[in-house]
Structure 1
Amino acid sequence: MKRCEAAMPPRRTHPVANRALAALIEQAAWTHAALARHVNAAAAASGDPLHYDRSAVGHWLTGTVPRPEGVVAVLEAFRRRLGRPDLAAAHLGWPDPGAGPPDDPWHGDPVARLATLGEDDLLNRRAVLTAGTFTLAALSSLAAGTRVPAAAKVAAGVAARITSGGRAPARAGAADVTRIRAATAGFADLDDQYGGGHARAAVAAYLAREVTPLLHGTTGRRRPDLFGAAGELSYLAAYMAMDAGANALAQRYYISAVRLADEAGDLVSRATALRSMAVQAAELGHDEEALALAEAAASALGGHGPPRTQAWVTGMRAEAHAAAGTRHDALSLLHRTETQLERADSRPEPEWTGNYRRESLEHQIGLTLTRLGDHAGAARHFAASMNARRPVERRTRTLIGLRAAHAFLRAGDVERAAVTVLGLSEDVRLVASARVRGELRALRTAWQPYRKSALVAEADRAVRGA
């Protein structure tokens, strides 16, 4: 009898005060521990980790209200589980966390949104996180094929913006566009050498305080070029934020990049940003959304644009189809990617966003084969991509190298995995990248059963603490 009593769950000493939350937990079919895990995962995607456990959920049920960023994370966890982007704090029995009504980054003045986003990022304001974790709701209009407001509608508000923030408008010219693009290229080189966690504040400051004031005051024939250059910088800010693990922030920057591309009438830049949003969704495990975004990127191009850009987008479609389980489509798209890249017989475009080369395709093939379960094939392609990388691509080479090592390990080639990591150990320490650290953690966990191997033990010591 005593054993039976010990196996029973502990009796609740406090009654459930929050019936709305209890009902949603039951609808989601979650235990308290499972809810806590999903909330922590949603918060981690925003770059603001939380560490709730089942006892915290118990406190919520008895009337405790988590702090604002916790409310936002709980909401996002339930939205994903239940497929209800309309859920608000009131549905959980909680007051609004202070972020106001659900914010739609696809609407409103794109320049004002970008300026605020850059300032919040620069000053590390918590508002930039509580405005929303990485959220699937922000992707719903894209999945439905919805376009953002036409540039003509936004242009009608230019006069109202010119004096915003008390700043005098600055009319931009060709020299400003050249300087912005040169700065973007320089920041991109730093990103690829040292990772998105390095120099992000400098990018945010330049974007918010040097670039957006020019957007307020420029009309006429220079306007498309200026908005295009600003969109490329917003795209880079997004990529760096994603690499640094600040995924909510990255999502907002990517959306700004899409909207600025639309203002510039640049479908190639629109497709570029949507394609990278698909990468982000895929890396966060949102396969359905990744496929919708990859298809939206292809739709933006409409079968036109530079062959390298078409190949870049088609390769992402292949990976997304592999994740969706459509093997034939994935392999067919990989073949099309290779054909498109072969047609790009000129050297890679000078713009850093158009630099799609054979080693990029090797990486994409590796990602697609990983999704299809062919780890030996993936390892070969990852390794080919890693070995062809230029010295300036330290972060990319390190990230792909760790993926190669993990693929070798999954394929049973333990020694090759360890040797690959040993060759990357110095670069791993130089790169400030949450994505690199995540790959390294996953690899070190996976090779625990092989720690008796002298090579594995040596490799593990070489990257310990990185």
Structure 2
Amino acid sequence: MPPRRTRPVANRALAALIEQAGWTHAATARQVNAVAAESGERIHYDRSAVGHWLTGTVPRPEAVHAAVEAFRRRLNRPDLRPAHLGWPDPGVPPPPDDPWRGDPVARLAGLGEDDLLNRRTVLTAGTFTLAALSGLADAGTRGPARRPVGRPGAGDVVRVRAVTASFADLDDRYGGGHARQAVAAYLSREVTPLLANATGRSRPDLFTAAAELSYLAAYMAMDAGANALAQRYYISTVRLADEAGDLVLRATALRSMAVQAAELGHDGEALALADAAASVLGGRGPGRTLAWITGMRAETHAAAGTRWDALNLLRSTETQLERADSAPESEWTGNYRRESLEHQIGLTLTRLGDHATAARHFAASMRARRPVETRTRALIGLRTAHAYLRAGDPEQAAVTALLLRDDVPLISSARVGDELRRLRAGWQRHRSNPLVAEADLAMAGRS
């Protein structure tokens, strides 16, 4: 029930939409905060703020656009505008047009420049949109031929991949928030001019190399909490992979888009994306990549409530991984190891509500991580701690968190920060326990 009012409702349009959505004031605030977070904005409205909106207060621009998107999704009304909520248009630039259309190289160049030079605009001009995922049905057609101006060759491909590997190493060590602008600068100013001039036998390899770097930019943006930006980079990755005729990389991007959708709570879209990734390869491709995609399908089927499908897919994932005949390091997009599978099992079991077993698999994944994987070890470690907590073992949660106290301060990752905030919120009622109190103090200020 909404709280009793002491001032009359002035914004009847907003009141009507809240009623149609079936939300309380607190739920409305949570939805607005969540949509804003998808675009990298950290806002913290509560039910009292919604009460102020109803009495005539207009929130700041990023909240207006987040609220519009939240109601669009809830009411399935893509036509909604600020005026429908009783607010003036705040004047923020509209979201970019359909990212699946137009010249993919020009779009990538513009995206990189926006990311590099005008981060506030690219973060607030649009949100992570479910509508953009509908473009997958029309994707896969090649763009118009380009007139060659220069002759990029095999040496350019080697250099781009070497730089991508260096940036990927930094991402593994320090998180997606570190060196992101350097990636954007290299992508937009060094790589896209090569694509515009690419011709001949080196062209497909150059587009694949560029798609790999776009994929890394997407992953880093997602890890940094800039999900609207990450979505655009992922779409660019799919389009560049299509230009190169690289089905493995296309499937890889779709699989990671499924991860993004799942982490943002869009379970239906995550399931569709994971299944689409599998459909691209049709059971053919590198064994580790197939296992990586099948594992994601297991998680999304668990989220959809199809328990037996999820468990069967986990068994298939293990079989595919056991049959993989290549070293993990040999497949850039399928670097899938046993510890990766343990993490995927943990995520799937979490979706199925088996937190005690999930914690054991998360712990196995955390212990097996290589020294370079600082961010991943911290992320999975915090998930391990949270699983122990939800399984009723706050002491083991605290012990696990204390193992990470030296790693967490090194990492620039919104995902790690979010996991840590959820963990600390969950164990507050156990702070009388000395171990929990020690862990909470050790992690204070790091979330």
TM-score, normalisation: structure 1: 0.90
Alpha-carbon offset, residue 140 of structure 1? 2.6
Deviations 1:122-180 (A, max 9, x none): 123333123311111111333xxx031511xx124x24xx7xxxxxx543110111111
Could you tell me which residue of structure 1 aligns to residue 93 of structure 2? Answer: 99
Specify the code of the residue in structure 2 equivalent to 1:50: I
Could you tell me which residue of structure 2 aligns to residue 386 of structure 1? Answer: 366
RMSD: 2.1
**Residue 274 (structure 1) aligned to one of 235, 239, 254:** 254
1:216 lines up with 2:196 in the alignment? yes
Question: Per the alignment, do residues 148 and 190 of structure 1 end up closer, same or farther by CA in structure 2, a change over 3 Å counting?
Answer: same
Specify the code of the residue in structure 1 equivalent to 2:235: I
Alignment of structure 1 residues 433-444 onto 2, 5 Å: 433-444=413-424
* Cα distance between partner residues in 1 of 2:385 and 2:24: 36
1:422 lines up with 2:402 in the alignment? yes
Which range is displaced more, 266-275 or 406-415? 406-415
Native 8 Å contact 1:348 1:357 kept in 2: yes
Could you tell me which residue of structure 1 aligns to residue 108 of structure 2? Answer: 114
**Residue 138 (structure 1) aligned to one of 132, 141, 155:** 132
**Share of identical aligned residues, percent?**
76
**Residue 155 (structure 1) aligned to one of 118, 123, 144:** 144
Could you tell me which residue of structure 1 aligns to residue 353 of structure 2? Answer: 373
* Cα distance between partner residues in 1 of 2:108 and 2:349: 37
Deviations 1:320-369 (A, max 9, x none): 00011100000000000001111103211424322111110010001001
Native 8 Å contact 2:123 2:229 kept in 1: yes
1:69 lines up with 2:49 in the alignment? no
Structure 1 unaligned regions, length at least 5: 1-6, 163-168
Deviations 1:68-116 (A, max 9, x none): 4333212211112112334344544544845347621111111111111
Which of the pair has more CA radius of gyration?
A: 1
Alpha-carbon offset, residue 220 of structure 1? 2.2
Deviations 1:188-223 (A, max 9, x none): 111011111111111111111111111111122211
Native 8 Å contact 1:192 1:394 kept in 2: yes
Alignment of structure 1 residues 238-317 onto 2, 5 Å: 238-317=218-297
1:462 lines up with 2:435 in the alignment? no
1:26 lines up with 2:19 in the alignment? yes
Question: Per the alignment, do residues 247 and 384 of structure 1 end up closer, same or farther by CA in structure 2, a change over 3 Å counting?
Answer: same
Specify the code of the residue in structure 2 equivalent to 1:263: E
Could you tell me which residue of structure 1 aligns to residue 77 of structure 2? Answer: 84
Specify the code of the residue in structure 2 equivalent to 1:147: D
Native 8 Å contact 1:85 1:136 kept in 2: no
Structure 2 unaligned regions, length at least 5: none
**Residue 118 (structure 2) aligned to one of 124, 137, 140:** 124
1:175 lines up with 2:155 in the alignment? yes
| Aligned residue-pair number | 443
Alignment of structure 1 residues 10-49 onto 2, 5 Å: 10-12=6-8, 15-16=10-11, 20-49=13-42
Alpha-carbon offset, residue 65 of structure 1? 5.3
Q: Counterpart of 1:426 in 2: which secondary structure? A: coil
* Cα distance between partner residues in 1 of 2:300 and 2:122: 29
Alpha-carbon offset, residue 11 of structure 1? 3.7
Q: Counterpart of 2:400 in 1: which secondary structure? A: helix
Question: Per the alignment, do residues 27 and 199 of structure 1 end up closer, same or farther by CA in structure 2, a change over 3 Å counting?
Answer: same
* Cα distance between partner residues in 2 of 1:51 and 1:124: 24
Specify the code of the residue in structure 1 equivalent to 2:5: P
* Cα distance between partner residues in 2 of 1:130 and 1:398: 29
Alpha-carbon offset, residue 408 of structure 1? 1.5
1:9 lines up with 2:9 in the alignment? no
* Cα distance between partner residues in 2 of 1:325 and 1:363: 19
Specify the code of the residue in structure 1 equivalent to 2:318: E
* Cα distance between partner residues in 2 of 1:234 and 1:288: 25
Alignment of structure 1 residues 329-368 onto 2, 5 Å: 329-368=309-348
* Cα distance between partner residues in 2 of 1:451 and 1:381: 26
* Cα distance between partner residues in 2 of 1:446 and 1:31: 23
* Cα distance between partner residues in 1 of 2:85 and 2:397: 47
Specify the code of the residue in structure 1 equivalent to 2:268: E
Q: Counterpart of 2:127 in 1: which secondary structure? A: coil
Deviations 1:426-464 (A, max 9, x none): 001111111111111111111122212222222222222
* Cα distance between partner residues in 2 of 1:395 and 1:100: 34
